[in-house]
């Protein structure tokens, strides 16, 4: 069984943004507010290939995402694991992230890999291996 419980999955599915943490080449922490989507036990972020977060993941192979609910009791958790930059078959994943950004009932039509490559988009994918600092998740998901 993976690191994600059903309650954690429900929590993630209800929150569209999180703080992505990577490490710079010098070893300094770097954080960025991002929209994300969940695909099974992976968290995916659409970003530009030349962004520092993408460069950090290519170099280090790891990342974490801290996600917080925005209503009391302010549930939160940090999801960490191996990370990679995807460039193939990313149209549907990009569309899912866009759906969460716009809060549309359905994802938009997926773009082709070629079209996404032309505009410099990639998917940063984190395979969740660890969940830390989980607070108030059960309380938050019991109301869903």
- Return the pLDDT at 141: 76
The answer to whether the CB of 100 falls within 8 A of the CB of 36 is yes
Tokens, residue 133: 């600092």
Q: What is the DSSP secondary structure assignment for residue 119, as one 8-state letter? A: T
The domain over range 6-137 is classified in CATH as 2.60.120.20: no
pTM: 0.94
Q: How far is CA 93 from CA 35, 60, 116, in A?
A: 12, 22, 11
Closest C-alpha among 12, 4, 41, 27 to residue 126: 41
pLDDT at 143 over 90: no
**Residue 23: its H or E element:** strand 17-23
Q: What is the DSSP secondary structure assignment for residue 78, as one 8-state letter? A: E
pLDDT tens digits, one per residue of 120-136? 999 999 999 999 999 99
| Spatial separation of the C-alpha atoms in residues 83 and 56, rounded to whole Å | 10
pLDDT band at 46 (very low <50, low <70, confident <90, very high): very high
pLDDT tens digits, one per residue of 75-128? 999 999 999 999 999 999 999 999 999 999 999 999 999 999 999 999 999 999
Q: Which residues contact 3 (CB under 8 A, 6 or more apart)?
A: 41, 79, 81, 128, 129, 130, 131
pLDDT at 62 over 90: yes
């Amino acid at each position: 069984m993976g690191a994600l419980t059903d309650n954690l999955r429900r929590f993630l599915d209800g929150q569209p943004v999180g703080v992505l943490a990577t490490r710079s080449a010098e070893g300094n922490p770097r954080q960025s507010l991002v929209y994300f989507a969940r695909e099974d036990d992976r968290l995916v972020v659409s970003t530009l290939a030349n962004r520092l977060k993408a460069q950090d993941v290519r170099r280090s192979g790891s990342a974490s995402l801290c996600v917080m609910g925005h209503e009391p009791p302010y549930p939160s958790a940090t999801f960490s694991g191996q990370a990679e930059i995807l460039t193939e078959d990313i149209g549907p994943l990009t569309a899912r992230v866009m759906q969460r950004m716009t809060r549309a009932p359905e994802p938009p039509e997926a773009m082709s890999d070629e079209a996404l490559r032309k505009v410099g988009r990639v998917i940063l994918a984190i395979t969740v291996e660890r969940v830390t600092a989980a607070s108030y998740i059960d309380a938050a998901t019991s109301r869903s």
